[in-house]
Amino acid sequence: MRKLTIVKRLHVFEVMSGFPSFLKPAQGLNMTHGAVSYQMGILEDWFGRRLSSITARGDGEQLKRCCESAFTVLEKGSYELRRRNVGTSAVVGCSATFYRTV
């Protein structure tokens, strides 16, 4: 299991990093201003410092580039998988035993 539980927050950071406030990014993400602020607070807690200090040191630009690169790879890979002609069926596996509790 992956330990990087901040992927959603990194996406929000990538979107909002090009704007001076949370208002426009919030609209683009279909989130409230408060929800974007909350997500950024969680990201700051994860990094252990304020995002303004990350941005002031130039680390914010590096983080933005990392996010852009990672999300581009994910997006391209997802579209490639989606375009593959694998038919219309899906294989789903499950345990042969079902437990019933009374």
What's the token pair of residue 78? 């997802």
The residue type of 44 is E
pLDDT of residue 3: 67
Confidence band (pLDDT; 50, 70, 90) for 100?
low
Q: What is the pLDDT of residues 86-99, one digit of tens each?
A: 666 666 676 666 55
As a whole number of Å, the CA-based R_g of the chain is 19
Per the rule left: phi > 0, alpha: psi between -120 and 50, beta: everything else, 92 is beta
Q: Total domain count for the chain?
A: 1
CATH number of the domain that 54 lies in?
1.10.10.10
How would you label 23-43 residue by residue, b for 16+ Cβ within 10 Å and e otherwise?
A: eebbeebebeeeebeebbeeb
Decide if 27 is inside a domain: yes
Q: For residues 69 and 66, what is the distance between their CA atoms, to the nearest angstrom?
A: 5
Confidence band (pLDDT; 50, 70, 90) for 69?
very high
Where in the sequence is the domain holding 34, given as residue range(s)?
7-83
Measured CA angle at 23 (ends 19, 28), to 5 deg: 80
Are the beta carbons of 24 and 13 closer than 8 angstroms? no
Q: What is the pLDDT of residues 24-54, one digit of tens each?
A: 889 999 999 899 989 989 998 998 888 776 6
